Amino acid sequence: MKTIAITGASGFVGTHLTHFFKELGYEVLKISRAELLQPNVLEVTLSKTDIVINLAGANIIHRWTESYKKELYSSRIDTTKALVTAIKTISNKPKVFISTSAVGIYSNKQINSEDDFEYAEGFLATLCQTWEEEALKAKENTRVCIFRFGIVLGKDGGALQSMLPPFKLGLGGTIGNGNQYFSFIHIDDLMQAFKFVIEKETLEGAFNLAAPTPTTNKGLTLALGKTLKKPTFLPVPPFVLRLIFSEGATVLTDGQSMIPKRLEESGFKFTYQNIEETIENLLGEKQ
| Predicted local confidence at residue 248, as pLDDT | 73
pLDDT of res. 10: 94
In terms of average pLDDT, the best of 57-61, 171-175, 246-250, 279-283 is 279-283
Residue 286 in this model has a pLDDT that exceeds 70: no
Q: What distances in angstroms separate CA 45 from CA 34, 50, 285, one per listed residue?
A: 13, 10, 44
Global pTM reads 0.95
- Residue 154 main-chain phi, psi, to 5 deg: -150, 160
Average pLDDT, stretch 27-37?
A: 96
Q: Are 132 and 81 contacting, i.e. CB atoms less than 8 angstroms apart? A: no
Q: Mind listing the pLDDT tens digit for each residue in 149-161?
A: 999 999 998 888 8
| Spans of all domains in the chain | 3-154+184-212+258-271
Residue 65: Cβ within 10 Å count: 12
Distance of alpha carbon 253 from alpha carbon 178, whole angstroms = 9
pLDDT, residue 242, reads: 80
Q: Which amino acid is at 160?
A: L
pLDDT at 103: 95
φ, ψ dihedrals at 212, nearest 5°: -65, -25
Q: Strand, helix or coil at 158? A: helix
The answer to whether the beta carbons of residues 102 and 148 sit under 8 Å apart is: yes
Residue 226 or 251, more confident: 226
What pLDDT is attached to residue 160?
87
Amino acid 237: pLDDT:
82
Q: How confident is the model at residue 99 (pLDDT cuts 50, 70, 90)?
A: very high
Percent of the chain having pLDDT more than 70? 99
Number of neighbouring beta carbons within 10 Å of residue 258: 25
Q: How confident is the model at residue 81 (pLDDT cuts 50, 70, 90)?
A: very high
CB atoms within 10 A of CB 169: 9
| pLDDT of amino acid 240 | 73
Q: 3-154+184-212+258-271: what CATH class?
A: alpha beta
Closest C-alpha to 95, from 202, 214, 224: 202
Q: Which of 101-110, 244-253, 267-276 has the lowest mean pLDDT?
A: 244-253
- Looking at residue 237, the DSSP 8-state letter turns out to be P
Task: Look at residue 235 in the predicted model and tell me its pLDDT.
Answer: 85
Amino acid at 67: S
Q: Round to whole Å and give the CA distance between 94 and 46.
A: 7
Q: How confident is the model at residue 121 (pLDDT cuts 50, 70, 90)?
A: very high
